[in-house]
Copies of this chain bind each other. A is one copy, B any other.
Amino acid sequence: MSALLELTFVLLALASCRGLQDGGIDEEPELVFQPSKFGSLWPLPQKVQISEVSFKLSPSNFQISDAKESRSGSSCSLLQLAYRRYYDYMFEGVKKVDRSVRADPTELLELQVWITSPDTECDSYPTVSSDESYELSVDQPVAVLKAPKVWGALHGLETFSQLVYEDEYGAKSINYTTISDFPRFAHRGVLLDTSRHFLPIKVILANLETMAMNKFNVFHWHIVDDPSFPYLSKTFPELSRKGAYHPYTHVYTPADVKMVIEFARLRGIRVVSEFDTPGHTQSWGKGQPNLLTPCYSGSKPSGTFGPVNPILNTTYDFMRKFFKEVSSVFPDSYIHLGGDEVDFTCWKSNPDIQKFMEQQGFGKDYSKLESFYIQRLLDIVTTTNKGYIIWQEVFDNGVKLKPDTIIHVWKGNQEKYQLEMANITSAGYQTLLSSPWYLNRIAYGQDWQGHYRADPQDFKGTEEQKKLVIGGEACLWGEYVDATNLTPRLWPRASAVAERLWSAKEVTDISDAYSRLSVHRCRLVERGIPAEPLSPSFCPHEYKGI
C-alpha cells in the first residue's frame, strides 16, 4: 500500500523558513510525511488490521446493500441515503456506469450492511447514549459492516470509504482489512456561532457533512448572542424581526431549523441549541421590551441595558414560554443554557435591583443574584423534560444543579482547566472540555498539534471521576469568521480534536497523525470542502473554488 500513498500524496519537508522571518516564533517541530501503516484513516479506529492483499472496486459493479440478515431494509431512508452518499464520495466524477462489465477475480463487488439490533433506531434521533460501534471486514466476495444501530453503520461507511484509494493507474482499490471500532467519548462536538456573523444554511450543512467525515456527533448551535438574534421564534417573532441583522435575509426560519436537524440526524449528529442567558442577551432586548435590566447613570436610566432582569415575574413568564417552544423545536434531550460571563455593572447601577438584593439578603454578592436567576431558569427547563448543559461559571458560582447536569469547561490554560475538571467531577457532575480547543484563536504554523495533544481525561482524579468526562467540543466563535473564511479555518484543525475524542487514549503519535491527517485533508478537499493545508504540499485532486 505504500506505493500508492507515495503516488497520491508527496510532501516535501524542507528546512525553508522563508515565510517566518527571523526572530521567530516557538514553532511545533517539523514533521516529515511518511505513509502510515494505517493509510489515511481519520480518526483512527480502536482496532485495525490492514493487510497487503488488495481488491479492486469498479463503479460499474460495486454496490452497497443491506445484508440479508440485517434488521434494517429499504424502508430505512437514513441508510439508503448514506449508501448513495458514500458511493458518490468513492467514485466522485465517475459518470459512466457500464452494467455489462464482467467482474475481475480480484474485485470487491459489494459492501453488505448488517444492523444487528431489532431496534435499528433508523427513525430516531441520536443521543448521548447511542451505540455508535461497528465492525468492518473487507474480504472477498463481499465486505461486511456490522453494527447494532444505524449510527455505527454510518461511521463504518465513512471508515470503509477512507480505506478506498487509487492505485498507480487511478483504479479504485481497497485492502483486506478488519476493523472493530467505537468512540472513546460519547459527546464529540463542534460549536458554531451564528450570532456574531450570520451563517447561511449552506455553510452550516457543508460543515455538518464535514463533521460526519470526522465522526463528530454533536453540532452545538450557539444560535443567538449579543450581536444578533437570527432564531425566528413562532411564539415571539419580534425577537428576530428586531434582533436579527436583517429580519428576512439573516434569520433561521422554523423550516431552516428543521432542515438542519434532519440533515444532521441523517449523519448521526445531534443538534444541541444554546440560548445563553442572563448575559449575552443584548439582541434579545430589541424585540422583547422589559426583558433586559435598564442600566442607570446616577439616579436616571442611561438608556442602555444589561443582562436579563432577574427580579421581574414577566422575565420568567417569558422564559417559560420561550423554552417551551425551544424544547419542542429542538428534539435533542439537552439544551445548552449558557450562563457565562455575566457582567454585574448594570445590575449594580439599578436601584430596583439594589432593593431586591437587600430584600433577598444577598448583600453585595451579585453572583447570588445570578444564581437566583439561573436556579429559576433551570427549574423552568426541567419542566420541559430536557437535560441541560451550562458553562462552567454556573458551577463555579455554586448554583444548585440537577445530578445529570453537564458542565462545559471553557476557561483557562492547561493548569486551570485541569483543576476545574477535577473539581467538577469530584462534585459528581458530568463534564465537557473546550478550553484547549478554541479554534477561533489562530496562530502561525501547525497549531493543530497543540489541539491534538490536549486530553480531556488528563487531570488528577479517580477512575470514577474520569468516567464523568463525556467528551468535548471544538469551538469556533464568530467574531472573525463568516461564510468567507469559516470552513478552511475550521478544517482540518477541528479534525485533530475529532481524533482525540474518538480514538483510543494511547493514539498520540504525532508523526503518524500528521501523515494520516495530510491525506485526510486532501480527501476533504476532493469531496469539495475547502480544508486548508498543513504544510507545503499538494493534493492529487485540488480544490476547485477560489
Interfacial residues, chain A to chain B (CB-CB below 8 A): 10, 12, 14-23, 25, 193, 195-198, 200, 202-203, 206, 225-228, 245-246, 249-250, 280, 282, 340-341, 343, 410-413, 416, 435, 438, 440-445, 477-485, 487-489, 525, 530-538, 540, 542-546
Asked if A478 meets B16 with Cβ closer than 8 Å, knowing A483-B542, A531-B484, the reply is no
Asked if A198 meets B538 with Cβ closer than 8 Å, knowing A14-B282, A341-B18, the reply is yes
- Whether A202 pairs with B546 at a CB distance below 8 angstroms is yes
- Whether B530 pairs with A479 at a CB distance below 8 angstroms is no
Q: Which residue of B lies closest to A206 (CB)?
A: B546
Q: Can you report 19 residue pairs joining A to B where beta carbons are below 8 Å apart?
A: A10-B245, A12-B226, A12-B282, A16-B226, A16-B280, A18-B340, A19-B477, A19-B478, A21-B411, A21-B412, A21-B435, A23-B413, A195-B536, A197-B537, A443-B443, A480-B533, A482-B532, A482-B542, A484-B488
Return the contact of A18 from the options B280, B530, B537 (Cβ within 8 A).
B280
Label chain A's interface by main secondary structure.
Answer: loop
B-side contacts of A540, CB under 8 Å: 246
B-side contacts of A17, CB under 8 Å: 341
- Whether B530 pairs with A196 at a CB distance below 8 angstroms is no
Return the contact of A203 from the options B14, B18, B445, B546 (Cβ within 8 A).
B546
Q: How far is the CA of A480 from the CA of B193 in the complex (A)?
A: 25
Q: How far is the CA of A482 from the CA of B245 in the complex (A)?
A: 32
- Whether B485 pairs with A489 at a CB distance below 8 angstroms is yes
- Whether A484 pairs with B532 at a CB distance below 8 angstroms is yes
Asked if A480 meets B445 with Cβ closer than 8 Å, knowing A197-B536, A197-B537, the reply is yes
B-side contacts of A25, CB under 8 Å: 441
Q: Which residue of B lies closest to A22 (CB)?
A: B411
B-side contacts of A412, CB under 8 Å: 21-23
B-side contacts of A206, CB under 8 Å: 546
Tell me, rounded to whole Å, the shortest Cβ–Cβ distance linking A229 to chain B.
Answer: 11
Return the contact of A198 from the options B530, B542, B544 (Cβ within 8 A).
B542
Q: Which residue of B lies closest to A20 (CB)?
A: B441
- Whether A250 pairs with B538 at a CB distance below 8 angstroms is yes
- Whether B197 pairs with A483 at a CB distance below 8 angstroms is no
- Whether B21 pairs with A441 at a CB distance below 8 angstroms is yes
Q: How far is the CA of A532 from the CA of B482 in the complex (A)?
A: 7
- Whether A546 pairs with B487 at a CB distance below 8 angstroms is yes
B-side contacts of A200, CB under 8 Å: 542, 544
Q: Which residue of B lies closest to A210 (CB)?
A: B546
Tell me, rounded to whole Å, the shortest Cβ–Cβ distance linking A191 to chain B.
Answer: 10
Q: How far is the CA of A489 from the CA of B535 in the complex (A)?
A: 16
B-side contacts of A536, CB under 8 Å: 195-197, 227, 478-479
Asked if A226 meets B546 with Cβ closer than 8 Å, knowing A22-B412, A442-B443, the reply is no
- Whether A545 pairs with B545 at a CB distance below 8 angstroms is yes
B-side contacts of A196, CB under 8 Å: 19, 536
7 nearest CB pairs, A to B: A19-B477, A485-B488, A484-B530, A196-B536, A245-B538, A485-B532, A483-B543
Q: How far is the CA of A423 from the CA of B544 in the complex (A)?
A: 45
Q: Which residue of B lies closest to A283 (CB)?
A: B12
Q: How far is the CA of A211 from the CA of B533 in the complex (A)?
A: 24
B-side contacts of A14, CB under 8 Å: 226-227, 282
Q: How far is the CA of A246 from the CA of B340 in the complex (A)?
A: 51
Q: How far is the CA of A476 from the CA of B421 in the complex (A)?
A: 40
B-side contacts of A202, CB under 8 Å: 546
B-side contacts of A203, CB under 8 Å: 546
Q: How far is the CA of A465 from the CA of B295 in the complex (A)?
A: 56
Tell me, rounded to whole Å, the shortest Cβ–Cβ distance linking A14 to chain B.
Answer: 5
Tell me, rounded to whole Å, the shortest Cβ–Cβ distance linking A434 to chain B.
Answer: 9
Tell me, rounded to whole Å, the shortest Cβ–Cβ distance linking A414 to chain B.
Answer: 11
Q: How far is the CA of A411 from the CA of B488 in the complex (A)?
A: 29
B-side contacts of A23, CB under 8 Å: 412-413, 416
Tell me, rounded to whole Å, the shortest Cβ–Cβ distance linking A408 to chain B.
Answer: 13
